[in-house]
Structure 1
């Protein structure tokens, strides 16, 4: 299969592919998603096959407006509507209870809920409207690998497996949307993202976070809760700010090249080893979140490092989402300062 590249002036062609049951990757403000007609079960199953995604990992349904959500979900609560009014379009995914039989098990993982998202990207909103159907939207990458923040990342992973890619340039945020479960008594964050717990609480009051590890036989309510995610080929080690002198010394003792991902400030304050390959995370946690997945992919495709030392941040605001993704890419492994 040839994978076509579409742009703003050829969105109609991309929409025709969606209507025909084909897969088209699309841009959002967070990462690129892999689109298929959410009402076409055969098309949805192609998404799992293209990504190599476990079949019990539910998919996000991407919509162009609230009216579409109302066709599939049970009557929306006042708090749900407040969140939609405040943060949509934007990096917020809401898990809602469905009307019976509204969407196939291929979308829901067999659950009575589904996740809905209204992205802040005009090209994708136009794509959905022209296709005339909601589209599923998991990240457009090989399952388990770093999420794609540029069209070329999608092309690298899925060339020949999907019909096309709608290229709208690099994404702005770089880590996926916040996922909030609105199907229970208390709104619950299942995945941190671009909208913080503090921002949510300011709009609807009490919000809680769910950090439990999903069991082997349990169907996760949201992506990223059960399976390995965001992992490059190299072993990632998370480094605290005070550990960098020791981490640089450790890197210099390795036999091969070592990837180093830090902000400009950390680089200026430390001497890079001769075998160190540096990738800039910019100036702060916001730019670091934007560059994280691109950096991990850089070392996968343009280097041969066995280790990547990556800067950790405080779990405040966007730092919570950044650390959630970084810990998963590292398999929870932190750099251990050697005994003096």
Structure 2
């Protein structure tokens, strides 16, 4: 099994200064709200994945087409495995988690159809302490999308996330700024790179043992 980096709610001897804000955000989510949160890529919007009304609100705030799925951000590989069919390719790619990689993979039959249209679910494990703390308090999985209205650039800073007005609560960045570069999207079972972001296509090919296409 892929070894995942351990996560602690309390780095060092004291809780982070943003812990109270994360706890408040978790309460907002439990009430069906939407939270703007930082990641290592761009800022995101989160809602509870098992609440239809919360998902409806997430889609409405973003102006997202109903047939365009959101992804599941997961605390670790184990949380992601609750939704994905096991495969050697997924296991190989999970060595890049936590990190800026989204994997669209065949979903388990138990995965809610709204989160897996066409039987495919998008999964990511963010590498950001605030995002991880929020996931920790919310059962390890959140329905997420970038913090922007559809068709506009995603928020790359706390100021931009606040200015978007999309979150019922906007978390602090927790001392780690977003890089401003979206996650790479890989589609299984073939391992096709649909969007190249912070992880390069060359890295994906090397990890999967795929020869580069020289045309």
Mapped pair 1:146 → 2:153: yes
Q: Distance in 2 between matches of 1:208 and 1:56?
A: 33
Secondary structure, aligned partner of 1:35: strand
How far does the alpha carbon of each residue in 1:80-117 deviate from its partner, in whole angstroms, 9 at most, with x for none? Answer: 112112x1110000011111241241x33x32111000
Match of 1:197 among 192, 196, 201: 201
Contact 2:75–2:141 (Cα < 8 Å) also in 1: yes
1:100 equivalent in alignment to 2:109: yes
The equivalences for 1:175-186 within 5 A come to: 175-182=181-188, 184=189, 186=190
Q: After TM superposition, what 4+ stretches of structure 1 lie above 3 angstroms from structure 2?
A: 6-9, 169-172
After TM superposition, the score normalised by the length of structure 2 is 0.84
TM (norm. structure 1) is: 0.54
Structure 2 match to 1:120: 127
Alignment of 1:179-258 (within 5 A): 179-182=185-188, 184=189, 186-206=190-210
1:157 aligned partner: 164
1:78 paired residue number? 88
Q: Distance in 1 between matches of 2:139 and 2:210?
A: 36
Q: CA deviation at 1:51?
A: 0.9
Indicate the residue corresponding to 1:289 in structure 2: none
Q: Does the Cα contact within 8 Å between 1:38 and 1:133 map onto a contact in 2?
A: no
Aligned equivalent of 2:21, options 3, 7, 10: 10
For the aligned residue pairs, the C-alpha RMSD in angstroms reads 2.0
Q: How many residues align?
A: 196
Unaligned stretches of 5+ residues in structure 1: 1-5, 210-340
Residue 118 of structure 2 aligns to a residue whose secondary structure is: coil
- Higher-Rg structure is 1
Higher relative contact order (CA 8 A, sep 6+): 2
Q: Structure 2: where are the runs of 5+ without partners?
A: 1-16
Partners of 1:189 and 1:41 lie apart in 2 by: 30
For the residue of structure 2 that corresponds to 1:138, the secondary structure is strand
Query: Which residue is equivalent to 1:174?
Result: 180
Larger deviation: 31-40 or 10-19?
10-19
Contact 1:200 1:207 in 2 (8 A): no
Q: How has the CA–CA distance of structure 1 residues 22 and 63 changed in structure 2, closer, same or farther, with 3 Å as cutoff?
A: same
Aligned counterparts of 1:12 and 1:65: Cα–Cα separation in 2: 20
